Amino acid sequence: MGRRFSREPRGPQIRINHRIRVPEVRVVDDDGSNLGVIPTDEALRRAQSKGLDLVEVNPKAAPPVCKILDFGKYKYEEKKRQREAKKRQTVVEVKEIKLRPKTDDHDLNVKVRAARKFLEAGNKVKVICRFRGREITHPQIAAQQLEFIVSHCEELANVEQRPTMEGRAMTIIISPKPQVLHRLAQERSRQTEEKLKAEKAGLDPTGTVNGDLDEDLDDEDEEEDDDDDDEAGGEDDEA
């Protein structure tokens, strides 16, 4: 016999119309009025006379509670609410910033600006200082550079992982402070609400929630990686 792959458990199934098999139900009409406890057959006839569905919304009640509504529209609105709730969630990613012990002050300031943008977008930042040749014999220089970046982000970030050696690199991880994440969540919620209002008004909303910002940050990070590669290519490792 072939192997059977387990499927993800399905959520509770909503019973509608003839799938509701209890003799009587408590019914809420489509206008929100309470019709009280009536036989299920009568409730179903009421729903069908309006071209709507009888939907069980609280099966654990005694008797179960049902609503008369458009089930297709109900499912659409429920999925829409789930999508909007997901958009409001803050997803924390780890962005990397790379430097060298020989990185000059100007480039360090560029790295600071990149780190701040990542943090303001709700991302963690992993700063990596790579050593080449005998540079590894002077780890204090790398530690000073990491501390420089952290000190210029202290109002935005907490140090999650102190400087540690990973092979021929020293790394540190900083994460956005709770107030930064809270402010970001509020902004995303505001933008989502504005988008929904625009959709209801029949307008074509433009822009995305932090989408453009994420693309700009990714582009900047790629440019930094290219700079590191160019720098590495122009130097020979010391014996």
Q: For the segment 188-219, what is each residue's pLDDT rounded down to a tens digit?
A: 878 878 887 777 776 654 444 444 444 444 45
- Return the CATH fold of 17-70: Ubiquitin-like (UB roll) (3.10.20)
pLDDT digits (tens, 9 = 90+) for 4-37: 544 544 556 889 999 999 999 999 999 999 999 9
The DSSP secondary structure of 111-168, one letter per residue, reads HHHHHHHHHHTT-EEEEEEE--GGGGG-HHHHHHHHHHHHHTTTTTEEEEEEEEE-SS
Structure tokens at 218: 């990714």
The domain 94-179+212-231 belongs to what CATH superfamily?
Answer: Translation initiation factor 3 (IF-3), C-terminal domain (3.30.110.10)
Distance of CA 132 to the CA centre of its chain: 37
Give 142: exposed, middle or buried? Use CB within 10 Å, 0-12, 13-18, 19+. buried
Q: Answer yes or no: are the C-beta atoms of 97 and 128 closer than 8 Å.
A: yes
pTM of the model: 0.47
pLDDT in tens, 98-129: 998 888 889 999 999 999 999 998 899 999 99
Domain map (residue ranges) of the chain: 17-70, 94-179+212-231
